[in-house]
Amino acid sequence: MTPSSTTQDRIAFVQRMGKALHRYGAPAHRLEDALKAMSNELGLKGNFFTTPSAIMYSYDIPGENGVARLQRVHNNSIDLHRLSQLDKLFNDFLATDLTITAANAQLDEILNEKFAYHPVVTLLAFSLTSGGASTFFGGNLGDVVLSTICGLVLFLIFQWSQHREAVSRLYDPLSAMVVSFVATAGAALFGASADISTLAGIIILIPGFGIIIGATELVLNHPVSGSARLARAGMTVMMLFIGVLFGSGLAQYIINIDSLPQVVPPAMPPWLPPLSIVIVGLGTGVLFNNSRRDLPWAVVAVCLPYLAMKFGLENLERAPSLFIVAVIVALFGNMFARTFDRPALTVLMPGILILVPGATSFLSITDIAGGNFETGLQSAFQVFVSGAAIVAGFMTSSLLLPPRKAL
């Protein structure tokens, strides 16, 4: 026998919600909890298995043959606005008598909504986020200017990739190559560091979120999803590194860097680093497509770990500092979710960016390739320690303030 049409409709709705949540950023452990909650609400006994590119569903239906389906998920992109809307639909579905038909209609509206920031706002977000991020790495005023230019270049490549599938596939290495070329060529002219400007220019592309979420999934007994996510993050770092290596080498080959006049940049204004934190918070909120109402909270999510990390490094070693900061970030995320009934990822995403374990992994590969094996291996080990400290902090926060629900 086959399931009745009513059962098919219920299963189809769970699948549609699962695909949407997966596509817009829900990690494996949160996604599976949400699917179980929806299935239980619909009277379905389901089991789920998720990876970064697929979801497997199986349903036991009393008196009928079971159902097993594989759903591939492509074009994953973090979209915090849509994730927040899906979370609201999830809440309404569990808390009210929302019918499958009405829920599907709302889901269609969410998926078809054209929410996006104006291209000029996105351009400013790319540029100013890179410029502000350079202060996190100890950059001077020249680094801020050059990193801002690199962010502008990254935006132009991003816009190009939206209309060319071949460019979209090579977006990471191509962006790293062009940004590295610009940073290397302009370092002397702006009195900047090519390394800092390059790293700040591509900071949005470095998969710190993937590393942390992948490690978290491993800890929470999701080995396939966690391993795949970590492997993807590692490959992204390698592709970025290859692009940076090629771009830097090309700039040095074409331009006689040593012959360029060395410019000494003006002193950093004391008000610029604090302003940079606010700018990075707003920029990351825009780049992750946060709702406008949540942009101020994205700023708080960036300022809080930055200040806590600064205080921690002045008084503790790096690993315990990261642990404490991770606890603070995750607690803030859970408090935000409980207070406003929206996904914790809304503020966790910008907060994780400040912890930048991906930046450390990128620097470790750069050191090894440059012949600094000891420094590179130390940096690589630091990635492992940093990731473990952050994941431990996230787990500890769940004991202090458990998440309100699946999402």
Mean pLDDT by 10 residues, the chain (407 residues): 63 91 87 89 87 88 75 83 91 84 91 87 94 86 93 94 86 93 89 86 84 82 86 86 88 78 80 90 91 92 85 78 87 89 86 65 55 63 75 85 72
407 within domain boundaries = no
The count of domains in the chain is 2
Q: Encoding tokens for residue 376?
A: 């590179």
Domain hosting residue 91, numbered range: 5-112
User: 232 and 376, same structural domain?
Assistant: yes
274 within domain boundaries = yes
229 within domain boundaries = yes
User: 309 and 242, same structural domain?
Assistant: yes
405 within domain boundaries = no
Q: What is the structure's pLDDT at 405?
A: 65
Report whether 317 contacts 172 (CB < 8 A). no
User: 160 and 95, same structural domain?
Assistant: no
pTM: 0.86
**Could you give the dihedral angle defined by the CA atoms of residues 172, 174, 178 and 184, in that order, rounded to the nearest 10 degrees?**
70
Q: Encoding tokens for residue 66?
A: 């079971």
Q: Which residue has the tokens 């406003």?
A: 340
Q: What is the structure's pLDDT at 368?
A: 55
CA atoms within 13 A on the CB side of 356: 21
Residue-wise burial string across 129-168, b where 16 or more C-beta atoms lie within 10 A, e elsewhere:
bbbbbbbbbebbbbbbbbbbbbbbbbbebbeebeeeeeee
The answer for 86, left when phi > 0, alpha when psi is -120 to 50, beta otherwise, is alpha
Length of the chain: 407
User: 176 and 278, same structural domain?
Assistant: yes
The sheet carrying 54-60 orders its strands as: 45-51, 54-60, 67-72
User: 44 and 133, same structural domain?
Assistant: no
> Cα–Cα distance between 338 and 403 in angstroms, integer?
8
User: 291 and 150, same structural domain?
Assistant: yes
406 within domain boundaries = no
Report whether 53 contacts 73 (CB < 8 A). yes
User: 276 and 316, same structural domain?
Assistant: yes
29 within domain boundaries = yes
Report whether 175 contacts 202 (CB < 8 A). yes
User: 276 and 235, same structural domain?
Assistant: yes
> Cα–Cα distance between 127 and 220 in angstroms, integer?
37
Of 112, 145, 170, the domain-final residue? 112
Of 96, 112, 128, the domain-final residue? 112
User: 252 and 194, same structural domain?
Assistant: yes
User: 193 and 311, same structural domain?
Assistant: yes
User: 172 and 94, same structural domain?
Assistant: no
Q: What is the structure's pLDDT at 108?
A: 92
Of 85, 112, 139, the domain-final residue? 112
Report whether 388 contacts 215 (CB < 8 A). yes
User: 138 and 83, same structural domain?
Assistant: no
